[in-house]
A and B are shown apart, each in its own frame.
Chain A
């Protein structure tokens, strides 16, 4: 089941074409990566899914039906350019944003308090936003994005601005939300987190989708089907790259029979980073 299906989306801003017949299918319960260089049309597509902008042509389906304004309440969106009202108190602000997503004041208050406790930031409730550091504000933004338990979570560069500890915290939360059944669209330039988190991706370039599918499949497809084996024998440590034509077991058996100690064995897959550069530059 696809939670989101974009069919033949086109968007022009005057002369400029931002999206040209783009079709993307986002399966439910997975983490979906939107990749692409700046200006490729990712943000425009995200805004169309959020109904912030209306497509010039094409249609978006949510759970198999054309998307409506009510469906937006089931989406949580963390834009890349994000901010809060500087003069407003953290708690009031979070309450406001949660209520805009259709929560009642009571639910909003209960859920928010849980999140504040979880992140250990209860003491911020009555602080003004301008007193918070950037990282602190980011945490609040993350909470306000997920507080209404969205079925679909759209995160645009969610890790920027976080220190490694907090980035890890957010990463864990994303995985936990996925386990709880949310679908997550992750737009990022950080290819490592794509490899780590995403199940499927779509790579945008110049208003088109140039590559889409399962991350592992893509990496295999672009790889040379090699494996890397590291072993120790009488002469010391060795690293060898072998063609994996015969299958991993056969190769391993071969080495074990040689009487060497195997330290590690892994499938050699190209980095997403290399695939990204190859595709974007190559066109």
Chain B
């Protein structure tokens, strides 16, 4: 093994990639996008205030009229008594309102039931619709309560209403209590598995492409006449790994800087408020229906609020452990997959022929990704546990478990298994690579690969 030569190879692999425009773009654009993703909800919160809409309404039922209160976004104008519902609708074009709201009594069903219709030139936002529903429901409920003719019933009802908030603490090995938010863990867990999946598949794919490039451009024979095939493979894999790590650290640094800069402008609490509404949006998008409890929709700012928990959880996360684990699992997972992808690349003449051969590699990677993505549902289940140990899925799945707490021995065992598998995989790959890079013409099958592995 000639380390001076390997350094030269690593240098080329690294420099050609880092100087590429696509690398610069992804490195600098992604953190900007990420920072925007964090800050846009806060921005919208800030900017949307004061943008008023006016809604005209006619209440023919008599339960709601006069009870709709203006909100930050919407002002109401009551036309009850002046116009009928039909007239208001007919005049909608002449009157300059953003929308009209018609409330009519329901003919059948419960007492004091109403039909509610809105007409508007632009679709009504989910938020306004919810606000309308809530206000009208309240008005109708008030009316019904009054029908019981019990003194002070309204106050009694108010008194009876319970407001339960669960505060979750985790107790670590030192017996220290930490307030935690499962939602935050979920997001971090999903993000980690997504990022590591992306990194491993992207950069292992890069290695494969670059092997194919050398083979199809026919430069490989010149290269292996100067250096050993194994040196070439190691140089390539390490060079690309350094590119990945460079990108990763630049992302962290840039995101921190951008988010920091932004929060100093907008204010950190706004930022978190905004990003936790992103969290809720993700939940609403069907991540987990059990979390779609409407009570999480209204945000209160008291001590044990959602926001407080988010903040405290974010502060309590062991970032050092997280980053160290990420780097270790990424590096080993990448090394394993990159060497196997390099072997596949060496066995084909062009990228179109890789399909059959990469399948056994992409399948475990995909399994790892999906298990990792949903691991937050039950991070200690059998499936998740085994997937976090089996080397082909462990880099992704273990990372998704880490936010929920993983015993040190499990981490070490998983890393050890991954490392041993990498050694075995690299040995097999080197054998295939050595023969494969000089084979042209014939489309190689698994049988050929097996033959090459056994070749002396």
Binding site for B on A (CB under 8 A): 14, 47, 50, 52-54, 56, 69, 72-73, 75, 77-79, 81-88, 92, 96-97, 99-102, 141, 144-145
Contacts and interface: CB of A to CB of B under 8 A. Distances in A.
A102 B8 CA distance: 10
B121 interface: no
Given A14-B451, A52-B438, A81 B8 contact: no
B2 interface: yes
Contacts of B214: 85
A78 B228 CA distance: 17
Nearest to B227: A100
Nearest to A76: B225
Given A69-B2, A69-B228, A100-B8, A85 B222 contact: no
Given A77-B222, A83-B222, A97-B222, 20 more contacts: A14-B455, A52-B224, A52-B438, A54-B456, A69-B228, A72-B226, A81-B221, A81-B440, A82-B218, A83-B218, A84-B219, A85-B217, A86-B217, A87-B16, A96-B8, A96-B12, A100-B9, A100-B223, A100-B226, A102-B5
A75 B438 CA distance: 19
A84 B12 contact: no
Contacts of B222: 77-79, 82-83, 97, 141, 144-145
B221 A79 contact: yes
A79 B225 contact: yes
Interface of B: 2, 5, 8-9, 12, 16, 213-214, 217-219, 221-229, 438, 440, 451, 455-456
Contacts, number: 65
Contacts of B12: 92, 96
A85 B215 CA distance: 10
B8 A99 contact: yes
A57 to B, nearest CB: 11
A56 B16 CA distance: 38
B217 A52 contact: no
24 contacts: A14-B455, A56-B456, A69-B2, A77-B222, A77-B225, A79-B222, A81-B221, A82-B218, A82-B221, A82-B222, A83-B218, A83-B219, A84-B217, A85-B213, A85-B217, A86-B217, A87-B16, A92-B12, A97-B223, A99-B8, A100-B8, A100-B9, A101-B226, A141-B222
Contacts of A79: 218, 221-222, 225
Contacts of B217: 83-86
A50 B228 CA distance: 10
Nearest to A81: B218
A83 B215 CA distance: 9
